[in-house]
Amino acid sequence: MPKLKVLTTRRWPAAVEEELARRFDLTLNKGDEPMSQDVLAAAMGEYDVLCPTVSDRIDAEVINGGTRVKLIANYGVGFDHIDIAAAKAKGIAVTNTPGVLTDATADIALTLMLMAARRAGEGERELRAGAWSGWRPTHLIGSALKDKVLGCVGFGRIGIATARRAHHGFGMKVAYYGRRPCEPDVGRELDAKFYPNLKDLLREADFVSLHVPGGGETANLIDADAIASMKKGSYLINTARGGIVDHDALADALKSGHLAGAGLDVYPAEPAVPQALLGLENVVLLPHLGSANAETRIAMGMCALANIAAYANGEDVPNPVA
């Protein structure tokens, strides 16, 4: 049988690309530049499998660009950049790569929490600018983590992994909001308090960490009203999706001092960063590094490859989204 024709829209780790090329008829985006909507639409008629990333917008217009692609094997766990309904309507399977990036993303959530709480970004900028005048007792006073309440908005794999690091590693208290209480053994392990009402959680948390999927249901979940409900002097951490947060309202709260700080790894229209945040000292801004360690990025690629291989063999794909 001829090998499936596979297109990866961005460069993947070399070990994964080599394995893909060995098993399939692979086309790489060697320039590693974002593909236009027209190019993506044309690809739907030229390939059997399209492998996009979060930086691609696989909307209905793209999906309806051709009839050949039968599998969209997403490189990443989030899939709000893919029009799932349009894919279903055309009988196209969609897969993702859950689980393998849990620890890496939880690590970044703690990185942002520590950087925001200890004002590490401010300190580094001051030092590099040659403006540091030396140690003094009142310089860049931040917040401790021990005994503070971590409020997780969403308590799936990444939320729980973040809470474990915060509780066992830093002595934080854990609270969470979600559709339902977590498994009893997890709740006991973390002594975690469940809040069925989001605003009740926001009022109690010293650090709010977002762990819900993106998309219509969570768009602007943390809006001006939600931010106003947060405890004065608290911190907001987002490693989930940029569209969850109203960034103008966030900027206003950071300027006014209602929030002490924030740490963000994701934005609504990447690679653009909300202009209102760029001039603020009390927000840490990272360029979507949540899964960016070598082990995780390879594991994500191998997970996508396993989905493609199962499809090629006529088997059930391991990680179906649609």
Identify how many contiguous H helices and E strands the chain contains and give both numbers. Answer: 14, 12
Task: Give the N- to C-terminal CA distance of the chain in Å, as an integer.
Answer: 26
* β-bridge mates for residue 194, sequence order: 176
Of these residues, 18, 183, 270, 295, which one is catalytic?
Answer: 270
Based on the residue annotation, tell me whether 33 is a catalytic residue of this protein.
no
Residues present in the chain in total: 322
Handedness of CA 213, 217, 219, 220 (dihedral sign): negative
What is the separation of C-alpha 310 from the centre of its chain, rounded to a whole number of angstroms?
26
β-pairing, 207-210 vs 173-177, is unpaired
How far is residue 258's CA from residue 249's CA, in Å, rounded to a whole number? 11
Compute how many other C-beta atoms are within 10 angstroms of the C-beta atom of residue 18: 12
How far is residue 263's CA from residue 239's CA, in Å, rounded to a whole number? 8
Based on the residue annotation, tell me whether 270 is a catalytic residue of this protein.
yes
Decide: helix, strand or coil at residue 244: helix
Cis amide linkage into residue 274, ω under 30° from 0: no
Of these residues, 10, 81, 211, 241, which one is catalytic?
Answer: 241
Based on the residue annotation, tell me whether 211 is a catalytic residue of this protein.
no
Helix, strand and coil content of the chain, in percent to the nearest 5, comes to 40, 15, 45
Decide: helix, strand or coil at residue 190: helix
Residues catalogued as catalytic: 241, 270, 288
